[in-house]
Amino acid sequence: MSTKNLHLIRHAATVTRHRRALLFGHRSAVLWFTGLSGAGKSTLAHAVEESLHQRGGHTYVLDGDNVRHGLCSDLSFSLEDRSENIRRISETAKLFVDAGNIVLTAFISPLRIDRDQARKLFQAGDFFEIYCQASIEICEQRDVKGLYQKARLGEIKEFTGISSPYEEPLHPDLTINTGAESLEASVERVLAFLIQNDILKPSL
């Protein structure tokens, strides 16, 4: 039965997001890293989290492979299930934002409509789409798991960039050329972006 048919009333918490921000010393937000498999989304997200953690930031990374082992273990890689995967992640990220965290999501999230739907869950200034831009040739060179080779041999069906589409962001909030920039430079660009958008204080 849909929850829309139940008599549900939201409970108002006394510990609010604003109070958490005052306690933590930074605003909460979602950094939505998107890009092809092998573009460096997870690597960059975890490196940014490490830097924020060392500064005393409250963070959490929602990583595509990790989530597929639990919350979304029942989903396939069809476009329909990919959309449901992103819907679940978006709702989970929203809870983490309310808890005062800077949430870093690392998902291919290949369809623009799904990323746009994710953005709509958040207030203006709470959701930032970060495009990890790398050519498919570079992604294949980095492919230590051999996934691209298996996809080209037909051993993996519905593989993004080979047999399933990836729609590049049209207007990302930030583009990181992960195919050319060093990891250290990429992290610094993300941190500068957070300061510019009033998520972090320069002193954090």
SS3 string, the chain, reads CCHHHCCCCCCCCCCCHHHHHHHHCCCCEEEEEECCCCCCHHHHHHHHHHHHHHCCCCEEEEEHHHHHCCCCCCCCCCHHHHHHHHHHHHHHHHHHHHCCCEEEEECCCCCHHHHHHHHHCCCCCCEEEEEECCCHHHHHHCCCCCHHHHHHCCCCCCCECCCECCCCCCCCCEEECCCCCCHHHHHHHHHHHHHHCCCCCCCC
pLDDT tens column, 48-77:
999 999 999 999 999 877 888 888 889 888
Average pLDDT over residues 22-43: 95
Structural domains in the chain, CATH included, are: 14-196 (3.40.50.300)
What pTM did the predictor assign?
Answer: 0.90
Report pLDDT digits (tens) over 155-189. 998 899 898 899 999 999 999 999 999 999 999 99
What pLDDT does 129 receive? 98
Q: What pLDDT was estimated at residue 144?
A: 79
Catalytic site positions: 109
Higher pLDDT residue, 144 or 137?
Answer: 137
pLDDT greater than 80 at residue 5: no
Cα maximum dimension of the chain: 56
Average pLDDT over residues 28-38: 96
